[in-house]
Structure 1
Amino acid sequence: MGFIIDSDDMYRKFNCLLNQEFFVDKSNIINDFNKLIDKDGSNNVCITKPRRFGKTSIAAMLTTYYSKGFNSQEIFDKLKVSKGKNSINKILKEDIKKIYPKSNILNNNEEDKIDNLIYNLQYLHIETKDIFIIIIDEWDYLISNNVFPHEEKVKYIRFLKSLIKDKGYSAFVFMTGIMPIEKSILNCFVEYSMLKDKKYYQYFGFTEQEVRDLCEKNKKINKNRKIKYEDLENWYNGYKAYNGEKIFNPWSIYHALNRDKIKNYWNGTGRFDELVNIINFNILGVKDDILKLIKGNKIEIELEGFGTENILNGLKNNEETSESDMKTELYSKMVTFGFLTYYDGKISIPNKELEEKFVKVLKSNKDMKYYYDIINNSKIEEYDNVLNFIPINEYPPNSEKKRKIDQKSDGIYKRLRSVTKRKKMIRK
């Protein structure tokens, strides 16, 4: 693991963002964070959102703004943050090694680097009375990567706690990731996730007004471009904030406008390989629910957080964990990764882009593809054909296997009847 002090990489990254045609100014979040600096109990913020929702962009902006390594005042004087009462202007711009010659923060001894980081921050704070702003992007990379053994993951979390918790040198900590810290020992953070965020949701993803503004800008750039707001809304909208406000996938919006083409841009941005395992996982009702969701239904369920401890311990499919709890955990995970959205106590597939991915996953499962095709085409008359694939007469009438097959058959029949009835009502 490496440590970066006043990183030029983040500075260059943010400058690249500024120069993009479809840059969206999210700098007001800095004014929100400036209010938290050196405020005990609320100055450690963790933002956990799906991949490609702007977390690294915000981290790059914060690094550029707060860093003493380069002058950024000219950049931010042109952005929204400059209009806030809590804007901070910095004048000290020197190399940290020159300022603190006794410090060995930047040494290359990997064996001692972790201990040195904490020691040097403490030393600098005592010697200079300076306080530090710590920015950690993708904190959960090590946790969610199977390359690292369990022991290393536990050690890493303990290190983070030692680095941050109750440290006098820390004025503010901003940490991002996909995996929520809920249920972990990192209880020194105030966390804002896809399930719980009433404060910073508008900074991660694009709001409806931001997308409309981008569409207007797109027209001015080139009148021949065809994409309209309604196209973007249909394909990339659907995430909901706690108050019902629309949140769009920023990665997909950017690429659709940049290429002037509506298509699925989720490839490579989400862990859909895990979705296959979720669908195939032997939990009561999951496959049925997926079919309902694809047909546009919403499912009422009370979700709890899915977090680090779930990853460290793994999904527990045993007698101690009820199927209801396991289902709740799985759906919480799908919301965490951005596969589903959760609003007003109900889960649903956010948009056409995600629906297309769900269908693709279903069609990769031979059994599920067959049921999906029948339901999608409302071919209730093919129910008998479905039953022909189930060897009902091969088992004794009162056997457990026969009972389970009957239940499965009845469930399929009810689903087909329900969907067909719904489609007929829609046609009328």
Structure 2
Amino acid sequence: MGIYLNPGNISFAKTIRSEIYVDKTGLIACTNEYLNTKNQYLCVSRPRRFGKSMTLEMLAAYYSCGCNSRELFAGFKIAQHKDFEKHLNQYDVIYLNMQQFLIRAKKQEVTQYLEQAVLEELREVYGNWFSAQITDLTTALEKIFVKTEKQFIFLIDEWDCVMRERQESEAMQKQYLDFLRD
């Protein structure tokens, strides 16, 4: 369990223990329909305080192979769905909060900082599947896939913050958009 690679279910476990949690696990069944299709890229664009971050924590807890979330979801709507166990904890999840990367990167390019941070964690788990000379995330993921056929699910919180908060830096925005396209 890492910070970015398979962050586990601790955040979601805290969330469901709060007094105000509303069961949104039905969204998991909707998301499952898009896995392994040409429509697999989803963007949830809602107003502030709508629960987007909480939803991503829920998806990370459900999909991440770095934890066992069966009991965590047992009392919720998704547990009744016919495909509940098909995707439960079956994928490597890479969870990125772009707001945090923007803050931590300081003067460094955001995408370069992000790739280095995620590559560090990938090397801990899959270091023998790609060489130390590989310094870009896309190539590392391709090498891992070729060797293992494991699929990765990317969950990106605050995905648009680079556009909102770095409007003056067209170069950074272009680099970030290129990263998203890869």
TM-score by shorter chain over 0.5: yes
How much does 1:97 deviate? 5.5
The counterpart of 1:84, out of the listed 69, 81, 85, is 81
1:25 deviates by 0.5
Change (3 A) 1:148 1:127: farther
1:71 aligns with 2:68: yes
Over 3 Å counting, the alpha-carbon distance change for 1:17 and 1:101 in structure 2 is same
Match of 1:6 in 2: 6
Give how far 1:51 is off: 1.1
> Are residue 131 (structure 1) and residue 151 (structure 2) matched?
yes
| Poorly superposed stretches of 4+, deviation over 3 Å | 89-93, 95-99
CA distance in 2, matches of 1:148, 1:7: 32
Matching residue within 147, 154, 157 for 2:174: 154
Any conservation in 1 of the 2:56–2:157 contact (CA below 8 Å)?
A: yes
**5 Å matches for 1:165-314?**
none
- State the 1:48 CA deviation: 0.8
Aligned equivalent of 2:16: 18
Q: Tell me the CA shift for residue 60 of structure 1.
A: 0.5
Letter of the 1:56 partner, please give it: S
| Distance (Å, rounded) in 2 between the aligned partners of 1:16 and 1:148 | 38
Of all paired residues, the percent bearing the same amino acid is 28
CA contact (8 A) 2:63 2:90 kept: no
The amino acid of 1:68's aligned partner reads C
- Determine if the alignment matches structure 1 residue 31 to structure 2 residue 57: no
Q: Aligned pair count?
A: 150
Checking the alignment, whether the CA contact within 8 Å between 1:142 and 1:148 is kept in structure 2 is no
Shift in alpha-carbon separation, 1:92–1:137, aligned structure 2, 3 A: closer
What secondary structure, in the 3-state scheme, does the structure 2 residue paired with 1:133 have?
Answer: strand
CA positional deviation for 1:13 = 2.1
Q: Deviations over 1:207-247 (max 9, x none)?
A: xxxxxxxxxxxxxxxxxxxxxxxxxxxxxxxxxxxxxxxxx
Does residue 50 (structure 1) correspond to residue 47 (structure 2)? The answer is: yes
CA deviation after TM superposition for structure 1 residue 90, in Å: 3.6
CA displacement at 1:12 relative to structure 2: 2.6
Matched to 1:128, the amino acid is: T
Deviations 1:171-214 (A, max 9, x none): xxxxxxxxxxxxxxxxxxxxxxxxxxxxxxxxxxxxxxxxxxxx
Structure number with larger C-alpha Rg: 1
| Residues in 2 aligned to 1:63 and 1:86: alpha-carbon distance in whole angstroms | 17
Taking the aligned partners of 2:140 and 2:54, their CA distance within structure 1 comes to 28
Distance in 1 separating the partners of 2:25 and 2:13: 13
Q: Which runs of 5+ in 1 are unaligned?
A: 163-428
Greater RCO (Cα-Cα under 8 Å, separation 6 or more): 2
Match of 1:143 in 2: 163
Cα RMSD after superposing both structures: 2.9
Distance 1:91 1:122, change over 3 A: closer
Could you tell me how far 1:129 is from its partner in structure 2? 1.3
**Matched AA of 2:58:** M
CA distance in 2, matches of 1:86, 1:47: 22
Structure 2 spans left out of the alignment, 5+ residues: 93-120
1:79 Cα offset (Å)? 1.2
**What is the rounded CA distance, in whole Å, between the counterparts of 1:15 and 1:101 in structure 2?**
30
Q: Deviations over 1:86-139 (max 9, x none)?
A: 21334799x96565231569x8x9xx3xx2x11111111111111221111110
Q: What is the CA-CA distance between 1:33 and the residue it aligns to?
A: 1.1
User: In the aligned structure 2, how far is the partner of 1:4 from the partner of 1:137?
Assistant: 12
The amino acid of 1:58's aligned partner reads T
Letter in 2 for 1:100: Y
* Contact 2:63/2:91 (8 A) holds in 1: no
